[in-house]
Chains A and B, each alone.
Chain A
């Protein structure tokens, strides 16, 4: 086993070398984020008088306090929550319904439905913008309320669900294929109707996949800003990601304040990622590498 040992020694040396290389690379990677955090902790005046590389004379959370006060960040964060939470729940609910039917029942249209949903998720979103925009306005006017869908959280939620449900349906149906069919068969023999079969038997089994997807979906929908930009005409109704763009223009000179705003906007997804890292990665790989 001499060759084996020599191989291991060689690998160890290589690993040490590569660790240094990866560590260096990782530092460069995270540096812009660290720099933004650093900037957000320093007062604007200090940077103006002493320069950006100056030694800090005071480090505090004043910029954060001011950002929350001046930029109405709490309101935008609330908008994000109002849009994101129902969107994620509806997306997962609809996705699981489709996955349940196409994997547990043998209908002729199963593959067509699944293809329709998966392909829909990959369309360039701008392809649907003009008709969706006018459709929302017209349907609203038909019911006597122009803002029923346009410039309303409901419209934004529906659009998000329509776009993301394809991915959820695809991921959940490939996950369902790994659940043995016998479970469903015994449920049917026990006389469970379709709804109970879905709600009491399948849904609990889908829990790990649903957890993984919900983390991923929350991140995607929270970060999305195209639809909020075009469908929400009132700035006060926009989620934080879209609002940041306007704030960037408004606070272009006071970049320490803007840095604090950006960090606050990033916090929800970053915290989610660190707390539920495993689910996050599982969600991503569940969908894109299932062959």
Chain B
């Protein structure tokens, strides 16, 4: 068996003409070059830059900073800890509330109730909207004179600032973010559920299993790969959260998130490379979920 594949391999190798080898190199080379130049080189450069002072204009102006940028962030940057907290709350909320809700929704829609395709579309609609549009839609709902405040009986004169109120804005932002996330999770889970044999569920139910038992003992174990992927996607999405809050506030002072701090320090304070250091911190936090994901999807190839 082994010799057979080796000989086949050498045969196919040898049968490649000069033109073919050239074509293959171009096929792999051009996309890889683009990927390396615009993604991997910049990523490495950012990591290096995070240990420097630089205003970004002339290369000769780069000064070595050691770990000073990180020190500043860890010791003198209260916004950093607030951002960590907000990203943490975001993550916890997504993992404990939004993602399970998406799964529950998928499980219920999968029963084949009347009009399930219609419902699926509705739940999925927010996912195809851009966050810029989502920001505008929810601003309408929540702004002074908007629907929600009108419902609460607050006219423009007595209106409150929902986005500016630190007691409630976290939950409102998480709610809006979930509006999009839940549909996404539902769809991913739904496609997995379609592969579970309905006879299994039926048999268990006839034997007297409750809905919860069926879900825990039959659905969850069969869906294991999908479960892990959904958790990983949730983790990465929570860490990368940016667009929505940026659209609503434009700056990280009211609701700081790691990604917003990167953005602000790139655009604003040129002299240190604090922005780069923030980006590296974000990368470090993302690395475990990324590696977990790669290990799952390349399980067979890595063997």
Report if A and B associate in a common complex: yes
A226→B133 contact, CB < 8 A? no
Given the interface pairs A51-B150, A281-B191, the reply to whether A166 lies near B259 with Cβ below 8 Å is: no
Q: Considering the chains assembled together, what is the distance between the CA atoms of A29 and B176 in angstroms?
A: 11
A130→B131 contact, CB < 8 A? no
Enumerate B89-126 residues with CB–CB distance to A below 8 Å: 105, 108-109, 111-115, 118-119, 121-126
Q: What total count of A-B pairs have CB within 8 Å?
A: 280
A35→B188 contact, CB < 8 A? no
Contacts of A113 in B (CB 8 A): 28, 32
Q: Considering the chains assembled together, what is the distance between the CA atoms of A53 and B154 in angstroms?
A: 13
Contact of B113 among A18, A119, A288 (CB under 8 A): A18
Q: Which of B108, B135, B192, B233 has the most CB of A within 10 A?
A: B108
Contacts of B215 in A (CB 8 A): none
Contact of A188 among B15, B136, B146, B192 (CB under 8 A): B15
State how many residues of chain B have any CB contact under 8 Å with chain A.
105
Q: Does B229 count as interface, using CB distance less than 8 angstroms?
A: yes
Contacts of B124 in A (CB 8 A): 273
Distance (Å) between the CB of B21 and the closest chain A CB? 8
A133-148: CB near B (< 8 Å → 1, else 0) gives 0110000000000000
A288→B247 contact, CB < 8 A? no
Enumerate B145-183 residues with CB–CB distance to A below 8 Å: 145-147, 150, 155, 179, 183
State how many residues of chain A have any CB contact under 8 Å with chain B.
99
Q: Does B34 count as interface, using CB distance less than 8 angstroms?
A: yes
B206→A4 contact, CB < 8 A? yes
Enumerate B1-53 residues with CB–CB distance to A below 8 Å: 9, 12, 15-17, 19-20, 23-24, 27-28, 30-32, 34-43, 45-46, 49
Contacts of A29 in B (CB 8 A): 122-123, 125-126, 179, 183
Contact of B141 among A22, A35, A248 (CB under 8 A): A35
Q: Considering the chains assembled together, what is the distance between the CA atoms of A198 and B28 in angstroms?
A: 13
Q: Considering the chains assembled together, what is the distance between the CA atoms of A225 and B132 in angstroms?
A: 8
Contacts of B83 in A (CB 8 A): none
A127→B282 contact, CB < 8 A? yes
Q: Considering the chains assembled together, what is the distance between the CA atoms of A32 and B141 in angstroms?
A: 7
B298→A123 contact, CB < 8 A? no
Q: Which of A29, A98, A224, A290 has the most CB of B within 10 A?
A: A29
Contacts of A119 in B (CB 8 A): 290, 294
B202→A7 contact, CB < 8 A? yes
B132→A126 contact, CB < 8 A? no
Contacts of A198 in B (CB 8 A): 27
Q: Does B252 count as interface, using CB distance less than 8 angstroms?
A: no
Q: Does A206 count as interface, using CB distance less than 8 angstroms?
A: no
A289→B192 contact, CB < 8 A? yes
Contacts of A116 in B (CB 8 A): 32, 35-36, 40
Contact of B56 among A23, A36, A130, A222 (CB under 8 A): A130
Contacts of B32 in A (CB 8 A): 98, 113, 116
Q: Considering the chains assembled together, what is the distance between the CA atoms of A61 and B155 in angstroms?
A: 27
Contacts of B298 in A (CB 8 A): 111, 114-115, 118
Distance (Å) between the CB of A273 and the closest chain B CB? 5
B206→A241 contact, CB < 8 A? no
Interface of A is mostly: helix
Contacts of A232 in B (CB 8 A): none
Given the interface pairs A30-B122, A245-B247, the reply to whether A36 lies near B137 with Cβ below 8 Å is: yes
Given the interface pairs A113-B32, A118-B294, A262-B137, the reply to whether A281 lies near B119 with Cβ below 8 Å is: no
Q: Considering the chains assembled together, what is the distance between the CA atoms of A248 and B188 in angstroms?
A: 32
Given the interface pairs A26-B122, A222-B130, the reply to whether A36 lies near B140 with Cβ below 8 Å is: yes
Q: Considering the chains assembled together, what is the distance between the CA atoms of A116 and B114 in angstroms?
A: 44
Distance (Å) between the CB of B135 and the closest chain A CB? 7
A22→B108 contact, CB < 8 A? yes
Q: Considering the chains assembled together, what is the distance between the CA atoms of A53 and B41 in angstroms?
A: 55
Nearest A residue to B46 via CB reads: A127
Contact of A165 among B35, B179, B202 (CB under 8 A): B35
Q: Considering the chains assembled together, what is the distance between the CA atoms of A288 and B37 in angstroms?
A: 26
A289→B225 contact, CB < 8 A? yes
Nearest A residue to B41 via CB reads: A131
Q: Does A41 count as interface, using CB distance less than 8 angstroms?
A: no
B289-303: CB near A (< 8 Å → 1, else 0) gives 010011011110110
Distance (Å) between the CB of B25 and the closest chain A CB? 10
Q: Does B205 count as interface, using CB distance less than 8 angstroms?
A: yes
Q: Does B226 count as interface, using CB distance less than 8 angstroms?
A: yes
User: Would you list 25 pairs from A and B whose C-beta atoms are within 8 A, ordered by A residue?
Assistant: A15-B113, A22-B108, A25-B105, A30-B122, A32-B140, A33-B126, A35-B147, A36-B136, A97-B27, A98-B31, A111-B301, A113-B32, A115-B298, A123-B290, A126-B278, A129-B266, A132-B42, A134-B56, A158-B34, A163-B38, A194-B19, A223-B129, A241-B130, A245-B247, A273-B128
**Beyond known contacts A118-B298, A289-B188: 13 more, CB 8 A cutoff:** A26-B118, A33-B137, A95-B31, A111-B298, A114-B301, A126-B262, A127-B279, A130-B46, A132-B38, A132-B42, A161-B34, A248-B247, A285-B187
Closest 4 CB pairs of A and B: A223-B130, A131-B42, A162-B38, A128-B42
Residues of A within 8 A of B (CB): 3-4, 7, 11, 14-15, 18-19, 21-23, 25-26, 29-30, 32-33, 35-36, 39, 51-53, 94-95, 97-98, 100-101, 105-106, 111, 113-120, 122-132, 134-135, 158-159, 161-163, 165-166, 169-170, 188, 193-195, 198, 219, 222-226, 230, 241-242, 244-245, 248, 255, 258-259, 262, 265-266, 269-270, 272-274, 277, 280-281, 284-285, 288-291
